[in-house]
Amino acid sequence: MDGKIIDGKEISRQIKEEVGREVERLKQDGCTPGLAVILVGNDPASASYVGSKERTVKALGMHSEVIRMAEETSESELLGEIDRLNGDPAIHGILVQLPLPKQIDEQRIISAISPDKDVDGFHPINAGKLMAGLDAFVPCTPLGIMVMLERSGVSLKGKHAVVVGRSNIVGKPMSMLLLQQDATVTICHSKTADLPSVTKQADILVAAVGREGMINKEHVKDGAVVIDVGINRGEDGKLRGDVDFDAVLPVASKITPVPGGVGPMTIAMLMSNTLESARRAFKEGRC
Ligand code: NDP
């Protein structure tokens, strides 16, 4: 079993430690990285995500600003807040916690964040740069998966990677990153015919769907590396992934658990992107 389960908690701890050290170095040069997180409304899951981001930012010695706005906040009020943060030299990363209340157009909000401070990597400019292979902020979840694969010694060159899910946040950027590392990439989605016949070809299988346990033994080739992005809360209140972990464990060569796999990496990469943004600002005299 040794090394078979990819320990996202441990890898994320290492990343955070490294980021913390670099933050101290940058602070000695006179630049304190700053992350602003905007939370609109009262969704308890969103509030909990924002709370853990705030704690991590502070623990790593960065400047944290959390803006809590009422459920009935208008789009123009939110745009005003983003505009203020875009112009604030103490802030290097801006994150708007999704989902947003229905009166607010998510895409308009994402596009209003300065691409230079878009540490979530959701802005169309950063998405386009990733597609073109240019330097860009990359969405934290797929970026974290790439780091996990690298630190677990998984080589990608010439391998067949199958990504189940094509969202802008996970599936599409994941596919681009795997392609950049010379994997042969197949993207599956809800209209894919005979999903198991496609996933069964994967050397590396990434499940990013949001359906508890949908990937089982029939979907996985012997020896495949299986990455489970899904976060599903079962009726018993427990978190489970998209992969039926117990069924797939004997077949996979490596596998990520839920919780303790991809989830902790996402927040670590948010810290890493914020540090990177501050470094760029410092170099350009904007910090
Ligand atoms: P979306 O709902 O945006 O996308 C889900 C994707 O799954 C879609 O592309 C959809 O296809 C596809 N899909 C749905 N049903 C099937 C099916 N039966 N067979 C094949 N594909 C299917 O979700 P996200 O990408 O935002 O998130 C995916 C999961 O990852 C969720 O559980 C989410 O909670 C989790 N997540 C975890 C993170 C972490 O930090 N660990 C971060 C972000 C997300 P179609 O496009 O055709 O509708």
* Strand partners for 162: 186, 205
d(CA 151, CA 161): 17
Q: Where are the domains of the chain?
A: 30-114, 140-263
CATH of 30-114, one of 3.40.190.80, 3.40.50.10860, 3.30.450.20, 1.25.40.10: 3.40.50.10860
Q: Residues 9-18: pLDDT tens digits?
A: 999 999 999 9
The reply to whether ligand 1 has any atom less than 6 angstroms from the CB of 189 is: yes
List the catalytic residue out of 120, 203, 228, 242: 120
With vertex at residue 95, the alpha carbon angle to CA 90 and CA 101, rounded to the nearest 5 degrees, is 135
Six token digits for residue 46 = 């969103």
Would 30-114 and 140-263 be classified into the same CATH topology?
A: yes
Q: What is the pLDDT of residues 51-86, one digit of tens each?
A: 999 999 999 999 999 999 999 999 999 999 999 999
> Is the pLDDT at 207 greater than 90, yes or no?
yes
CATH 3.40.50.720 fits 140-263, yes or no: yes
Mutation to probe ligand 1, out of 9, 52, 190, 227 (largest number of atoms < 8 A from CB):
190
